[in-house]
Amino acid sequence: MVKASELNIRSTASQTGERVGSYKYGDRITILETSNGWARTDKGWVSLSYVYVDGEVGSNSAYGTVTATQLNVRSGPGTNYDKVKSLNLNDRVQILEQIKVGNTTWGYVSGGWVSMDYISLEGSTGAITGGNTGGTTGGTGTGTGVVTGSAVNIRAGAGTSYQVVASKSAGDVVTILETATAEGYTWGRTDIGWICMNYVRMN
């Protein structure tokens, strides 16, 4: 899937190759072969730097739980794609990448794409396995707390580089399940994502 607003298609696997067309954000493409960071489609060559390849761990990876009674898994990020299987309520899944199409964020799970409207995020795999240099996790700071800032972002992982998935208002009570250190700050994992602990007063 194309992640750039516009992705040039070139005649050869090089930035110096003749531009023969372009894809737009969200286009689904079939990769016929790859060479040195480039991929050949039926229209020409594109840089893989701007393409998400199904099944790879992307920058917005996370774990989550299904909140719908039955959640369709589709062959592409959109309801116009075929249903390939379904997930059940409370199934725990690994989201390998999240991409916004229109007003809906879609996540790639094993075998296809699901609407993130029906996934409660736990946090990012990268926050624990090394996505943030020097990141650590532990039990300190766990428990309930009160949000002290207005419109505090909840992110898919521990760090400002992760996608905003929700927000909390001043006075909201949050349960911190674990903490991690990233970018010089302590982050806490809630049931829907990660919050900077600078804006949480623990009880």
Give the CATH number for residue 82: 2.30.30.40
Do 116 and 131 belong together in one domain? no
pLDDT value of position 99: 87
In the predicted model, is pLDDT for residue 134 greater than 80? no
Among 67-71, 101-105, 133-137, 199-203, where is mean pLDDT lowest?
133-137
**Mean pLDDT over residues 195-201, rounded?**
92
E strands along 57-184, which residues? 62-66, 70-74, 83-88, 92-95, 97-101, 104-109, 112-115, 119-123, 137-138, 143-147, 152-155, 164-168, 173-176, 178-182
Q: Look at residue 186 and give its three-state secondary structure.
A: strand
pTM over 0.85: no
In the predicted model, is pLDDT for residue 135 greater than 70? no
Domain that holds residue 93: 62-120
Do 149 and 198 belong together in one domain? yes
